[in-house]
Structure 1
Amino acid sequence: MNNQPNIILFLTDDHAAWASVPYGNSELITPNFDRLAQNGLRFSNVNTPCPVCSPARACILTGQTPSQIGIHDWLYETTPEIDNHLWLKGHTTLPMILQQAGYHTILSGKWHLGQSDDTPASFDQCFGTGRNQGAHQETHTYSLNNKPTTLTGSKTEIITDHALDFLKDRPKDKPFFLNIGYIGTHSPYHESHHDPKFVDLYKDATFSDLPEYHKHPWAKNEGFPYDESDTEQINAHRRGYYASVSEIDHHLGRVMDYLEETNQLDNTIIIYTSDHGCTLGHHGFWGKGNSTRPLNVYETSIKVPLFIQHPDLPKNETSDRPVDHYDTFNTILDFANTPLPTNTNYPGISYATTYNQPRKQPRFGEYGDLRFIQTDQYKLIIRYNHKPNELFDLITDPDETNNLFNDPQHANTIQQLLAQLESWYEDYQTPQYSGLNVLDQPIHNDSESWRDGLREKNIQHAKR
């Protein structure tokens, strides 16, 4: 392989780890995810550091924590003060490092980190979904290299079309880094919002892999089915989500076919992952970390798929090494033979050569004032300004139904994990950007106007 291989990073919105055949789903139709798994390495235990889009994307694109960057929730970009703010200003990004190393850098799809109608810094070419990503099958105004362009049809297909156009027209004397950001698995989930030919694949689906839906007492499901007895409405949402996975799978296959037809597979690394997980009634709610009050970091909200096809990595193997998006940032630079910047404290641990080794360190994450630490056995969740705190034994209670936080037998475990959690964030936070200071209110209250609170907090932060 060339010393500077081509790199394609698929970063899909809301694609849960459970939602493909290689991760154990028996009804989904995903031949190209199967193909990617057969030709590469699948990671079975992957966390996002934050279960909502903007901060999760910032983590993988900067290798830093939300409390180092100051992005703690999804950015309400339809508000000008928020969209106009350079949220990653002063932070070194993955495309910036790779561009400086000689890569031609391309974005096709979702950005959601401010100024989404423009080409983000250090991308040579960009086709973006804009400040309002919209639904899935519609007439929509995109941004093509800073110019608005209105197109009609499937966003997944259109994003793929432009990614392939960029690949065909790119300068051939440079390696490329291509970030493809699909939104198909994001809400709205209902089947009416998705391509009928993919919805029809699931007209007889039983959804036997999904748990029976019983509403969680914390659930705040805006626009999702509430009635546990409304099986048809529940299944209509599930058919739409399954259809979106199969549609993404189809267009993933188009990119893989192009690389194969142009003899570029041997010098291209393909990475497929998601910004965070997703539930379709798991735990009794629909969505992710912000679909409950208080916020949650259930495994279904934080677990993401991760496939890597790399000529120097094993084929058709599974790595059980626990990893997260901080690690993926470091790993991509490792694959590119590009060193980490020396002026930043990075929490990640590259798995480029350690994918088959156990992990000794815990993993960490946050969402506003919520922080968690996760070991092979335990997940400790501390809500610093809100309650309850939680401790789950993931070995005996993988569905996280039994909160052990107030169990005296686990007092020492809690004390040890809490000390590690707070010590870690002493190293990986910037005080003025800490999640304990920045967004301490907006999405934790029970008011239906929480979006207004989020918008106002985003604006206040943008003025800092």
Structure 2
Amino acid sequence: MMGKSVLLIVVDQWRGDALAHLGHPHVKTPNISRLAARGVTFRNHYCQGVPCGPARASLLTGTYLMTHRVVRNGAPLDAMLTTLPRELRRAGFDPALTGYTTTTPDPRFTAATDPRYRTNGDLMDHWRVLRSLTPNKDPYFSWLRQLGYAVPEDQEDLWSPELRADSPQGRLDLPSLIMSEHSDTAWMTDGALDYLRHTRGRPWFLHYGLYRPHPPFCASEDYLKLYDPAALDGPIRADDRAAEAQQHPVLRLLLERINQKKFMQNRDGPAADLDEAEIRQVRAHYYGLITEADHNIGRVLDELEESGEIDNTLVVFTCDHGEQLGDHHLLGKTGYFRESYHIPLIVCDPAGDPAQRGTVVEAFTESVDVMPTILEWLGQPVPRQCDGRSLLPFCAGEQPERWRDGVLYEFDFRDVLDPSVEQKLGIEMDACNLAVYQTERWKYVHFAALPPLLFDLENDPHELDNLADDPAFAEFVAEMAQRMLSRRLAHANRSLTGYFAEGGLHHRVGGVAVPVGEREHLPRAAE
């Protein structure tokens, strides 16, 4: 009998609606559909922050942004918080990773000259790194050189079709110069497959991370040709950039600052200026990158099925955050709109109720639920710091008691190196943040020092009409603000709040206070 193993698939920037089995009219994801048939899909799953650093900190600590405070890429992770890989090592695993975690170390516990500070996010401790694009992409591009690719001095220019002699600058319709079998997705997957083949018959944990469909949006020819831009849906947005900007000062700022060059090589100018035809072409690349990732995920599933390990492996498929993809005249993961925070989640529990396979759960779930789910499945204690709850009851066909009726997510728009953000908005740096509380009907956006927003998702699902200034909706603004405050109060850092000293140290277990007598009952802190 093989021991329990875990495959955690973490893709980057994959929107929650870009799944064929949930009815997307264009995107092709046959292997994700195959995975969904084995497990449970969580339709209303949300990350807790953007961009990558905040999102992955929540995923790998089980805590909200208000607790871990990784407010931006490059912001340090509090070393007093435990992490998923640390808990796995305590459980006896040697957790392996392809991909990255965008983690900056706590400066209170290392020198300012630590080389990990040279980049905008390094690797979290306690992983055995197999293949990564962090702190730089040198290993991948070195591999391409060995294959005969002429890698330019600025290595990432290789992703630019404009390196072709006959290509005018700025074209969006050309495929990547890199063949699909040599893409970073294939390279990362090759590393994952090598690991799985060498660990057959032993318990293992693999964080199988992929860079795609993260920009640059430049799919290989094999996958770009699958999508006709003219047949794709256009963006959902206001009539023009000026009309969109009227919704809120922060949105106006984002529309001004987000540049095309972050998403397409050799492009410049505001992303908000892309016309509908250009957005459709961007979407063709984006969907192509998704289908390529789907194909490679299928290679990993094939290996698990051929080895028989699929029957004792918990498989979790998820993402760090979403992508605006031209909606609201935006590209990237930013702001407060649903497209940036709604992400995929599929959980395949081989010990779950077979009747639940292929089902879709409508309840709200969050990235902070992933760590408790994995630890509970492995029979390990869930650290009290975790804001999430295990999703295994859903896989068993059960509805957990007192489940949440809404999701909480946050966005911090400060720039520590550039004060122009707070200067333009007329607020302090520490007030450059927002929090969202979203239920089935309402979405409330609270800003630390700017006017709030309220959307009626039943009548305005695309969040185009702000109702917060309408006196007729004042009671709903107050109610949603109160619900957000209640959620935040209940989840303020509670790493130690369940412990009490009187005649010895006690803690709560199942509603009963019991003495703490063993190390595994103590709070999980950094070592």
Tell me which interval the TM-score lies in, with the shorter structure as reference length: 0.7 to 0.9
Which segment is superposed worse, 122-131 or 319-328?
A: 122-131
1:384 pairs with one of 448, 453, 472:
448
The structure where helix makes up a greater share of residues is: 2
State the alpha-carbon separation in 2 of the partners of residues 299 and 107 from structure 1.
Answer: 29
Which residue of 2 is the match for residue 258 of structure 1? 303
Structure 2: gaps of 5 or more residues = 105-115, 145-154, 157-177, 246-251, 264-270, 413-432, 495-527
Counterparts in 2 of 1:134 and 1:124: CA distance versus 1, 3 Å: closer
Offset of residue 332 of structure 1: 1.7
Counterparts in 2 of 1:171 and 1:201: CA distance versus 1, 3 Å: closer
2:7–2:206 contact (8 Å) kept in structure 1: yes
Q: Which runs of 4+ in 1 moved over 4 A?
A: 116-119, 137-141
Offset of residue 413 of structure 1: 2.4
Counterparts in 2 of 1:261 and 1:208: CA distance versus 1, 3 Å: same
Offset of residue 74 of structure 1: 1.8
Offset of residue 363 of structure 1: 2.0
State the alpha-carbon separation in 1 of the partners of residues 13 and 273 from structure 2.
Answer: 23
Structure with bigger RCO (C-alpha 8 Å, 6+ apart): 1
Structure 1, residues 124-179: CA drift from partner, whole Å, max 9, x if none?
A: 343221124599x95579xxxxxxxx999411111111111112223744x21111
Aligned-pair identity in percent equals: 28
Give the alignment of 1:400-419 within 5 angstroms.
Answer: 400-419=463-482
Offset of residue 267 of structure 1: 0.4
- Match of 2:94, as an amino acid? H
Offset of residue 429 of structure 1: 4.2
1:17–1:23 contact (8 Å) kept in structure 2: no
What's the TM-score once normalised by structure 2's chain length? 0.69
Would you say 1:350 and 2:394 are equivalent positions?
Answer: no
Offset of residue 118 of structure 1: 7.3
Which residue of 2 is the match for residue 102 of structure 1? 92
Would you say 1:155 and 2:154 are equivalent positions?
Answer: no
Structure 1, residues 201-226: CA drift from partner, whole Å, max 9, x if none?
A: 11466113754785442324311654
State the alpha-carbon separation in 2 of the partners of residues 88 and 243 from structure 1.
Answer: 37
Which residue of 2 is the match for residue 166 of structure 1? 195
State the alpha-carbon separation in 1 of the partners of residues 446 and 237 from structure 2.
Answer: 28
Which residue of 2 is the match for residue 457 of structure 1? none
State the alpha-carbon separation in 1 of the partners of residues 459 and 89 from structure 2.
Answer: 46
Offset of residue 19 of structure 1: 1.3
1:69–1:88 contact (8 Å) kept in structure 2: yes
State the alpha-carbon separation in 1 of the partners of residues 67 and 329 from structure 2.
Answer: 32
State the alpha-carbon separation in 2 of the partners of residues 236 and 393 from structure 1.
Answer: 31
Offset of residue 246 of structure 1: 0.6
- Match of 1:322, as an amino acid? F
Which residue of 2 is the match for residue 61 of structure 1? 60
State the alpha-carbon separation in 1 of the partners of residues 492 and 399 from structure 2.
Answer: 28
Offset of residue 230 of structure 1: 6.2
2:100–2:123 contact (8 Å) kept in structure 1: no
Offset of residue 245 of structure 1: 0.2
1:194 pairs with one of 214, 219, 234:
219
Give the alignment of 1:318-337 within 5 angstroms.
Answer: 318-337=360-379
State the alpha-carbon separation in 1 of the partners of residues 404 and 288 from structure 2.
Answer: 38
Secondary structure in 2 matching 1:322: strand
Secondary structure in 2 matching 1:26: coil
Structure 1, residues 221-277: CA drift from partner, whole Å, max 9, x if none?
A: 31165445462x333311211110011001000000000010111001111111111
Offset of residue 378 of structure 1: 1.3
What's the TM-score once normalised by structure 1's chain length? 0.78
Counterparts in 2 of 1:426 and 1:265: CA distance versus 1, 3 Å: same
RMSD over equivalenced CA pairs, Å: 2.9
2:409–2:435 contact (8 Å) kept in structure 1: yes
1:425 pairs with one of 480, 488, 493:
488
Secondary structure in 1 matching 2:193: helix
